[in-house]
Amino acid sequence: MTAATTLNAIDAIDALLPQTQCRRCGYDGCRPYAEAIAAGATDINRCPPGGDATVERLATLTGGSIKPIDPECGDASVAKVAFIREDECIGCTRCIQVCPTDAIIGAAKQMHTVIEADCTGCELCVPACPVDCIDMPESGPASGQPLWPPERDIDAERAARSRELFEARQKRLNRKTTSRRRASRHDTTVDAREDAIATSAAKKSTIADAIGRAKARREQRES
C-alpha cells in the first residue's frame, strides 16, 4: 500500500467517526484511531459514541467483521453534554486544558461555562475537575440540551465542526510547544555563552594571579 493510498484510507475511516475525541477507543483522538485501523493495529468496534452504525460502516469500508462495541471501551449509548455548576466553579482551568474542542470558556480564578453546541460529550472534563462541579446530563429535547449524536445528516455536520475545532486546538498546542522549545534552546544557548564568558574571565584571572605571583617572587629574589 502506497503512502497516498494509506492516507486516503485514513481519511475515509476518519470521515466515518463521530469526532467526539473522547479517547474511549484508547487513542488520543479520532484521527489516531483511524490511523490505527488503517494500519491493522486495532479493531473497528472501539467507538462507543459511534455505536453499531459506525461499526457497520467501518466494516463495509475496511472489509472487517461486524461485531458489538468492545465493552472495555465503555458505554456511550446515551448522548450527553457537559454542564458546569457555575456557583461551585473555582476557575482552576483544568477542564479547559483537557477539552478537545475548546468547548469550555473562562479564565483563571473566574467562572467557566460550556459552549453547548461545541461540546461532544467526551466527559474528559469530569475527572479533571478538582471540585466535582461538572455534570453530564442527557442531551436532547427533553433536557433542553442539544442532541449528540443527532441524525446522521446533522451528525456529519457536527462531526466536521468538532474535527475542525480539535485540529485547530492541536495546531495551537503544537505552536506553544514549539515556542517553549525554542525559548528553552535560547535559554540554554545564553546560559552556555554566559558560562563560557565566566569561564574565560576566571581563566584570565587565574593567569593574571599566577603572573603576579611570579613577578613578585622575581622581584623578591632580585632585591
Domains of the chain: 3-73 (1.10.15.40), 83-150 (3.30.70.20)
> pLDDT digit string (tens) for 8-32?
999 999 999 999 999 999 999 999 9
Closest CA to 26 of 65, 63, 68, 70: 70
Q: How confident is the model at residue 38 (pLDDT cuts 50, 70, 90)?
A: very high
- Residue position matching grid coordinates 453547548: 116
> pLDDT digit string (tens) for 140-164?
554 555 544 444 455 788 899 999 9
Residue 66: pLDDT above 50?
yes
Q: What percent of the chain stands above pLDDT 70?
A: 81
The least confident of 4-8, 41-45, 59-63, 147-151 is 147-151
The least confident of 28-42, 54-68, 109-123, 167-181 is 167-181
Q: What is the mean pLDDT of the chain?
A: 84
Q: CA-to-CA distance for 4 and 188, rounded, in angstroms?
A: 40
CB neighbours of 128 closer than 8 A, spacing ≥ 6?
A: 94, 95, 97, 98
How far CA 154 is from CA of 14, 39, 57, 122, 170, in Å, comes to 17, 29, 17, 18, 24
Q: What is the model's pTM?
A: 0.71
